Structure 1
Amino acid sequence: MGCREQRWSLKGMTALVTGGTRGIGFAIVEELAGFGARVYTCSRNEKELNERIKEWEGKGFSVSGSVCDLSSQDDREKLIGSVTSAFDGKLNILVNNAATVTLRKFVDYTPEDYSLIMNANLHSPFHLCQLAHPLLKASGNGNIVFISSVAGLVALPMLSVYSASKGAINQLTRNLACEWAK
């Protein structure tokens, strides 16, 4: 038995990690799969997604995924449909990781910049939680993780819209805990 299994296990658990092919999302997929969870992830980049899945298969991890542009409501709905099929209608862990950032002075942000950042960083995880709610309940042990940022707590230059989106995620996290936690 390896060191991981001696500490704890996620065997039998299922997880969806958005934006799991690089950065923090990649590390989360590796950890969850390393502890035995079956993981589903998504990326906008099909080539990168296929390369990561092959890499994870080589490590003996149970990871599947699909191409998804989380800024699209239709893609989010298809993603949850795929997760529903992959995990027989049950999801234990939803990790809202995918996000975007645009560095600009406040006066230089365009309405398109604002919409892109808020859609990716706030609306998408909000909607995914709504869509995943029945799956999380069906598992009997549902958990949601939001990846935020220090920018959601303190002021940083060139990040006003990103910071606002992450501050909103922090508040959404608290409210969902209040409404959905046992």
Structure 2
Amino acid sequence: MSVIKDRFSLEGRVAIVSGASKGIGKAIARGLAEQGASVIISSRKQEAVDEVAAEFKKEGLEATGIACHVGDEAQLKNLVDRTIDVYGGIDILVNNAATNPVFGPLDQMTGEVFDKVMNVNVKACMLLGNLCKPSMAARGHGSVINIASVEGVKPSPMMSIYSVSKAALIMLTQSQAREWGSENIRANAICPGLIQTKFSAALWQNEQVLNHFVDQLPVGRMAQPEEMVGLALYLASDAASYSTGGVFAADGGYLVG
């Protein structure tokens, strides 16, 4: 019988992390690399991903930067093809890249905003998962980790289309889990709460808005990106071999508040 700590090892595994140049994506990428994975750092700008990969390599971690705008299908294919060229295959996909260009009421949302948010937050996750699936199946295992949000479970005012997109991402995750389980490919969603990142700055830099959110939290504070890493490491590893289709909140108790 294997020792439990060995089941958390990611030695020999290859991971793609989108939106990995900063925030939650960067924190998860570092955690995967620290557990032994070779990690593709992906984001829109090559300079940004090269900087993170160089930082990781100085720490003795294995990482390569590949720029990719997830809203561009050709760039998604290039990301997967180059990953396979560099590391030989793919075992782990973390769909972290997301957008939320407008903070406002639902009746002010336009079709253009809706399309942009859904293309990046949902469609790109489906397409990238589909592109990674053949390699995962050929290697006999795979883990897809979709970074959703508590907003996909319990919507907040002014976050309408973002909430819709994250609810759709949760359902995409469960569809992947149901359809791909027979090939030993697992899919799970992580739903962060309020995390102090550049992406959520519109929330935590406004004291009134921040207090509104924090007052609802049993733990009484927002989180740091590193506090999302533990769940990702579990779901990426063999320790989670029976976990698929799950929706895991890391929200300071927001959903029960």
TM-score, normalisation: structure 1: 0.92
Name the residue aligned to 2:171.
171
Counterpart check, 1:51 vs 2:45 = no
TM-score, normalisation: structure 2: 0.66
Deviations 1:39-96 (Å, cap 9, x if unpaired)? 11211122221211111111011000211111111111111111121222x2110111
Taking every aligned residue pair, what percent have the same amino acid on both sides?
34
1:144 match: secondary structure: strand
Counterpart check, 1:99 vs 2:102 = no
1:67 match: secondary structure: coil
**Aligned equivalents of 1:140, 1:41: Cα separation in 2:** 23
> Please, what is the CA RMSD of the aligned residues?
1.4
Give the C-alpha shift of residue 139 in structure 1: 1.6
Name the residue aligned to 2:77.
77
Residues 113, 85 of structure 1: alpha-carbon distance in 2 compared, 3 angstrom cutoff: same
Give the C-alpha shift of residue 148 in structure 1: 0.6
**Aligned equivalents of 1:155, 1:142: Cα separation in 2:** 31
1:181 match: secondary structure: helix
Maintained 8 Å contact 1:91/1:138: no
Name the residue aligned to 2:123.
123
Name the residue aligned to 1:152.
152
**Aligned equivalents of 2:79, 2:41: Cα separation in 1:** 9
Deviations 1:102-157 (Å, cap 9, x if unpaired)? 31211222222111100000000000111111011112121110001000001211
Maintained 8 Å contact 2:90/2:136: yes
Give the C-alpha shift of residue 34 in structure 1: 0.2
The count of aligned residue pairs is: 177
Maintained 8 Å contact 2:49/2:67: yes
Give the C-alpha shift of residue 7 in structure 1: 7.8
Runs of 5+ unmatched residues, structure 1: none
Misfit runs of 4+, over 6 Å: none
Give the C-alpha shift of residue 175 in structure 1: 1.3
Runs of 5+ unmatched residues, structure 2: 183-257
Q: 1:35 is matched by which residue type in structure 2?
A: Q
Maintained 8 Å contact 1:96/1:145: yes
**Aligned equivalents of 2:8, 2:179: Cα separation in 1:** 28
2:16 match: secondary structure: strand
Name the residue aligned to 1:39.
39
